[in-house]
Chains A and B, each alone.
Chain A
Amino acid sequence: MKLVGLSLMYLGKHYCEFINFLQKLNSKKTGEDISPTFKCDGINLVIILIGQTETMQRSEYGYEPYVSFIKSATKEGIKTFYVLARGRLNCYIANEVIWHVTKEQIVSKTDEYLDEIEYQGRRMKTLCVRLENNASTYDPFKDYFPQFSNLTSNY
């Protein structure tokens, strides 16, 4: 590709794998099982697609399987979570899931993207929320260092 002002940067091979992973999710058909986890250098994430009816039917409440999945994934060391939903009901469930996991301080919400798309001839609300594992950003000394520095400055 000819470029005017910018030089072409060749990204690592793992980004190709990441694109492949996203493409698989993109072309996923109903009932097809694809691992939602992607781990490589620098990228460690899980994409949770809200809306699998069988997942929601597994428990009395729609959101519970997703919450327990996020809990177990945080223990496995997953740093980032993306919760995706399409349609009003799925967006509602997604918000429930997010509310529960953030309330329990397992993860924290970093950003949210809301959009409206046309899907099968209907206008639909879509949601994409990024969650970050609190354990990956937690610094146990963060609160203590300022006190420590104040003490030392007094002497």
Chain B
Amino acid sequence: MDIWEILGQLLPYYPWIIIIILFIFVVLNWKKLKFSLCDIYQAITEFRKNLHFTRKVNSAIQGSFRVCRKFEPIMGAFGKIILIQIKIKKNVQDIQLIREEGIVTAIIPARNMDNVVKALTAHFSENLSNFSNVRDYPKLERALEIVSLQLVIEKCNLDGALEVSLKDFLNKMKENEEIKLICNILVDLNSKLKRFETRLDRRLLRILLIETCRAELNVLGKTLL
């Protein structure tokens, strides 16, 4: 009979004995246990923070997409709007987009608004632009992505952090002058279109976008293509 068997038999009669043994074990291995307990605590805290972050961001972004789809006429250029959800995984190198049924999951490496902006940009260019009605005009398509991204972020109302990240991101991108000009045109067209109750047919919206941008760029001696 070894010590563990004796303890096993004693345990139902003397339950406090296990507490003493555990205490002795902890005292003897305190140095090792201290680090692993800290790791566990840190992991739990990190998980809790990540969960809180993703819940907050996902609900804000998805709500914003829904609002934009309903109230921003320019978003009608995208035939289909697929929602996106953010997930955090530390072991990923870069942002990954996984298309599932009806939703896209963006896996980001860290809890950071810059990563969220990058994920949204990738979502617009890789998924939503496939359904855009101006996909044969690359400059217009790019401008449409930027303006829509901006509208989505504006509607998020996430204490300004996301807007700051978007501003930094747009500054870093250094888009060319033509795309900036087209973006400005699109913003104004969107505000003008909001005055009407009925949504323009997608083909008519395409005509509006293309012809307005063409005319404005022609004045400056530039072309849309």
Contacts and interface: CB of A to CB of B under 8 A. Distances in A.
A6 B198 contact: no
Interface in B99-150: 133, 136-137, 146-147, 150
B9 to A, nearest CB: 71
Interface stretch (B15-23, B25-33, B51-59, B210-218): B210-218
A1 B189 CA distance: 12
Q: How large is the interface on A (under 10, 10 to 19, 20 to 34, 35 or more residues)?
A: 35 or more
A115 B153 contact: no
A11 interface: yes
Interface in B164-211: 166-167, 170-171, 180-181, 183-185, 187-189, 191-193, 196, 198, 200-204, 206-208, 210-211
A90 to B, nearest CB: 12
B207 A23 contact: no
Contacts, number: 104
A113 interface: yes
Contacts of B196: 19, 23
Contacts of A2: 154
A45 B204 CA distance: 13
B25 to A, nearest CB: 57
A103 to B, nearest CB: 23
A15 interface: yes
A115 B204 contact: no
8 contacts: A3-B154, A4-B163, A4-B166, A9-B181, A11-B216, A22-B207, A27-B198, A42-B215
